[in-house]
Amino acid sequence: MIINVFSKSFFSWFNMIPFCDPSSSYHAHKFDIDKAINRVLDSGWYVLGPEVDAFEQEFASYNGKGFHAVGVANGTDAIALCLRGLGLVSGDEVITSSHTAVATVAGIEHAGCTPVFADIDPHTRCISPRAIEERMGTNTRAIMPVHIYGQPAEMHRILEIGKTHNLAVVEDCSQAHGAEIDGQKVGTFADIAAYSCYPTKNLGGTGDGGVILCRSKELAEKIKSLRQYGWNEARESIIPGFNSRLDELQAAILRVKLQHLSDDNAKRRAIALRYNEGFKELTITLPALAQNELHAMHLYVIECDRRDELMKYLRSHQIGASLHYPKAVHQHDAYANRIRGWEFLPVTDQFYQRSLTLPMYPELSSDAVEHIISTVQNWFWEKS
């Protein structure tokens, strides 16, 4: 196919402001990342080595005192390994939300467990504690809140429910590295937490990666064994495991990115505040930014009527508005009609009719932010 570089569509695509931009993160920290990559290449040690050890220690101390981290191959494995590490077995139910990346549910099933859906809270967009209690059954063994878009779930209430009903709590922090509630990082509230370090994440590498955080050294050691065929130090398999190793290149890059995570999250929040200010007169539901929380602002998602029309308009003005997600998990063919709880998720179902993601990444320029705000305002004014 011959592309006409002067055609309008090529020009528009070329100038599109993306909803996220992993390459700008690489360029922002290029010098240190290139140095880290060369160090690994020169070392000749490419999988589970000194960079992974150092990343695990640095990630654990970034989150608080007395934690252990385990680097794994991706966030989906991290979820499965958390559940396997806790000893959950086939048939054990894990209550989570359908408003998440499919990966949350894929990870639960990968561990042999059975996902169950509870509805979300319209304010936080995370799992509703009341809905969790409504979904509880005789096989329920765990709750998996997802801090969706970087918004902390209601951890205090979820932990209370877990304690009352003797359930494990596993945080899916894949979109919320560095988010806080009352000064405490998410991922440190529950028994264990899973993170994805996919390139688009707040803490993202240049390939697949993931990490697990927990307080128990014993649990961390068990997961270290599970991530490598269930081996002990003598390389004998003492439990059935699989391969979910983190490579040295990703670990070295994540170590560089970790140093900038808090600053990058603060830049994201500043953009979100500017958006919220620019949209406050419009009939849009904005992301909630609570005083006692640090939102990691992984994605900036609004809700409004005529969402599809607005998305089309924004795209025609070179703004990469997008959907997270086009479908809730229970609406995908692979999961439809088979996961307990799917029939009654009214808040989730409504959210998927109205939600729209606007560009959000630390390097997004203020000119771009102002262009996005004025374009959204223009659409509302033209339509009113």
DSSP β-bridge partners for residue 319:
17
Pick 173 or 252: Cβ nearer ligand PLP:
173
Q: Which of 2, 17, 170, 98 is nearest to 337 (CA)?
A: 98
| Distance between CA atoms of residues 212 and 198, nearest Å | 14
Pick 252 or 369: Cβ nearer ligand PLP:
252
Q: How far is the CB of 198 from ligand PLP (least distance, A)?
A: 4
| Distance between CA atoms of residues 253 and 85, nearest Å | 27
Q: How far is the CB of 170 from ligand PLP (least distance, A)?
A: 11
Q: How far is the CB of 210 from ligand PLP (least distance, A)?
A: 5
Q: How far is the CB of 157 from ligand PLP (least distance, A)?
A: 20
Footprint on this chain of ligand PLP (rule: CB under 6 A): 74-76, 100-101, 103-104, 146, 172, 174-175, 196, 198, 208, 210
Pick 181 or 203: Cβ nearer ligand PLP:
203
Pick 119 or 379: Cβ nearer ligand PLP:
119
Pick 81 or 310: Cβ nearer ligand PLP:
81
Pick 144 or 311: Cβ nearer ligand PLP:
144
Q: How far is the CB of 201 from ligand PLP (least distance, A)?
A: 7
Point out the residue whose Cβ comes nearest to ligand PLP: 75
Q: How far is the CB of 309 from ligand PLP (least distance, A)?
A: 27
